[in-house]
Amino acid sequence: MPLGRLIVVGSGPAGNTAALLASRIGVRVTIIDKARHPRVKPCGGGLTPKTIALSRIINLDLGEVIEHECGEVVVVTHAGSYLLRFREPLIRVSRRERLDEFMFREALRNGAEYVNDEVVRVEEGRGGVKVIGRRSIYEADWVIGADGAPSRVGRSIGLVPRSNAVALMNIASGKLGMDACVLDFTRVKWGYAWVFPLGGGDYDVGLGSALKGRYSGLLTSYVNELGLRLGRVMGHLIPYRPPSQVATRRVMLTGDSLGLADPVTGEGIFQAMLSGALSALSLRHSNPTEHYSELMGSYLRDNQYALTTAYMVYGIDATFLSRFMGLTGFSQAGVVNIIEKTTGGKLTYREALREMVKSMVNATPRIIKHIPPL
C-alpha cells in the first residue's frame, strides 16, 4: 500500500479535488501553486449536471458557489434559434475565483498544506520525485500534475496535449432581460459564443474555437450587440486531445495539463475533477500510476468519438446543414434527451453518436420552440 508523500502542482479543480481526496485517505499532501487564491482563471464557470453529480459523490457541496442556474438554454444556429428546456438545470454558473478558492479551502481543511511557488520542472528518480520550484526544491513519492495549460509538469515528463482550442471571456454588465443561458453557434467557426448570467446584472460572455485566431474584436462586438458593457477580456487555451499516456512511474497528469477538455463543448471542470479524484484514489493501490492509467483508458478511448461528434456539430451541422440547407440537429425532437444524457454522464460520446444518427434518420424535424434570433 504506497500512499506516502504527494505533491499536487496546481490548485484549480483538478489539483484541489486531488488534494482533497488524497488528504482524506491519509496521504501527506502539499499543493504548490504559483498564484494565491482568490486568483483569476478565464472561464465560463459553467457546471454540467455530471459535475454536480460528481461533487455529490465526493461529498463536496458546491451550492454556495453557484450564482445562477439555467434550466432553459437558447441555442442560436444559422437555421434559427431554439429554446431548449431541461428537467435539471443544464448549466449551473459559477465564478471561477470563488469556485477554486472554495475547493482549495476544503482541501486545506482536510489536511493539505499549501506552498506558494512556481514549478519549473519535475525530475523523477528511482525512489521519488524532485519538484524544482523558483524558490525551493521539494521532494515527494508521487506528483500529480494539475498545473493547467500549458503544463510545466507535463512538458518535463514529455507528455503534452495534441490539440488546443482557444477561448476568450469577460464579465459584462448591464441588463439582458432574460435568465436563460445562450449558446450561439453563428459567431465563430468551429466553436460557439456563450452568455451565462451570473445574477446582479453580470454576465460571463465569451467565445471559443478550435481554430486559432484573434477573437477579441469578435467578442467585443458580440457584447456591444447584446447591449452590455464590456469587462476585462481574458483568454486561455483549452487543450482537448490528450497524449496516449497519462502517467509515468511517479507522475500522474490531470485536467488541462493532460488535455482532457471536451472537444465538443470545451467543458473542462468535470474532467479536471474526475481525473483529480481518480489520480488521488489510485494512491491506495500497489502501483498507483498504472492503476490510474487503467482507470483513464476508457475515457481516453471515448475522446476519439468526441472528436467525431465535434466534427458533426461544427463541420456538418454548423457549416453545411444549417448555413446552406436551413436545417440543424438542434431542431430534432430527441436533442434535449441526448444533451441531458451526455451532460449528465449517462451516455458516452460513442453512444451519443449512435443516438444522434438514429434521431436524425428517424425523427421528423420538430422545433421545440422557435424564437427570433437574438
Ligand X SMILES: Cc1cc2nc3c(=O)[nH]c(=O)nc-3n(C[C@H](O)[C@H](O)[C@H](O)COP(=O)(O)OP(=O)(O)OC[C@H]3O[C@@H](n4cnc5c(N)ncnc54)[C@H](O)[C@@H]3O)c2cc1C
Cβ closer to ligand X: 204 or 317?
A: 204
Round to whole Å and give the CA distance between 305 and 311. Answer: 10
Shortest separation between residue 207's beta carbon and ligand X, angstroms: 8
Q: With CA atoms as reference, report the closest residue to 122 among 105, 92, 147.
A: 147
Shortest separation between residue 134's beta carbon and ligand X, angstroms: 9
- The 8-class DSSP code of residue 131 comes to E
Sheet holding 91-94, edge to edge: 46-47, 91-94, 66-70
Round to whole Å and give the CA distance between 94 and 103. Answer: 12
Stretch that binds ligand X, among 180-188, 254-262, 312-320, 355-363 (CB under 6 A): 254-262
Told to check if 89 binds ligand X by CB under 6 A, we report no
- 190-219 residues near ligand X, rule: CB under 6 A: 206
Task: Measure CA of the first residue to CA of the last residue in the chain; give whole Å.
Answer: 57
Told to check if 268 binds ligand X by CB under 6 A, we report yes
Shortest separation between residue 321's beta carbon and ligand X, angstroms: 26
Name residues whose C-beta falls within 8 Å of residue 134's C-beta, 6 or more positions apart in sequence: 117, 118, 120
Shortest separation between residue 125's beta carbon and ligand X, angstroms: 20
Stretch that binds ligand X, among 8-16, 155-163, 176-184, 288-296 (CB under 6 A): 8-16
- Evaluated on CA atoms 97, 100, 106, 107, the torsion sign reads negative
In the chain, how many H helices and how many E strands?
Answer: 11, 19
Shortest separation between residue 298's beta carbon and ligand X, angstroms: 20
Round to whole Å and give the CA distance between 67 and 99. Answer: 10
Shortest separation between residue 224's beta carbon and ligand X, angstroms: 19
Bridge partners, 69 (sequence order): 92
Name residues whose C-beta falls within 8 Å of residue 144's C-beta, 6 or more positions apart in sequence: 6, 7, 8, 9, 14, 15, 18, 22, 251, 252, 253, 254, 276, 279, 280
Total site size for ligand X, rule CB under 6 A: 39
| Burial category of 214 from C-beta neighbours within 10 Å (exposed 0-12, middle 13-18, buried 19 and up) | exposed
Single-letter amino acid code for the residue at 249: R
- 129-168 residues near ligand X, rule: CB under 6 A: 146-148, 152, 167-168
Told to check if 15 binds ligand X by CB under 6 A, we report yes
Shortest separation between residue 148's beta carbon and ligand X, angstroms: 3
Round to whole Å and give the CA distance between 336 and 57. Answer: 25
Do residues 348 and 302 touch, judged by C-beta distance below 8 A? yes
Bridge partners, 207 (sequence order): 168, 193
Q: Among 8, 10, 195, 318, which residue sits at the site for ligand X (rule: CB under 6 A)?
A: 10
Q: Calculate the dihedral angle through the C-alpha atoms of 134, 137, 138, 144, rounding to the nearest 10 degrees.
A: 50
Cβ closer to ligand X: 292 or 332?
A: 292
Told to check if 11 binds ligand X by CB under 6 A, we report yes
Q: All 3 cell numbers of residue 343?
A: 451532460
Cβ closer to ligand X: 213 or 365?
A: 213
- 106-125 residues near ligand X, rule: CB under 6 A: 118-119
- 31-70 residues near ligand X, rule: CB under 6 A: 32-35, 41-46
Stretch that binds ligand X, among 80-88, 268-276, 329-337, 355-363 (CB under 6 A): 268-276
Told to check if 223 binds ligand X by CB under 6 A, we report no
Stretch that binds ligand X, among 26-34, 77-85, 106-114, 320-328 (CB under 6 A): 26-34
Cβ closer to ligand X: 17 or 289?
A: 17
Q: Among 6, 8, 13, 95, which residue sits at the site for ligand X (rule: CB under 6 A)?
A: 13
Single-letter amino acid code for the residue at 143: V
Shortest separation between residue 181's beta carbon and ligand X, angstroms: 10
Q: Among 7, 8, 9, 277, which residue sits at the site for ligand X (rule: CB under 6 A)?
A: 9
- Residue number of the CB atom closest to ligand X: 268
Told to check if 90 binds ligand X by CB under 6 A, we report no
Interface ranges with ligand X (CB under 6 A): 9-15, 32-35, 41-46, 118-119, 146-148, 152, 167-169, 206, 236, 238, 255-257, 261, 266-270, 272
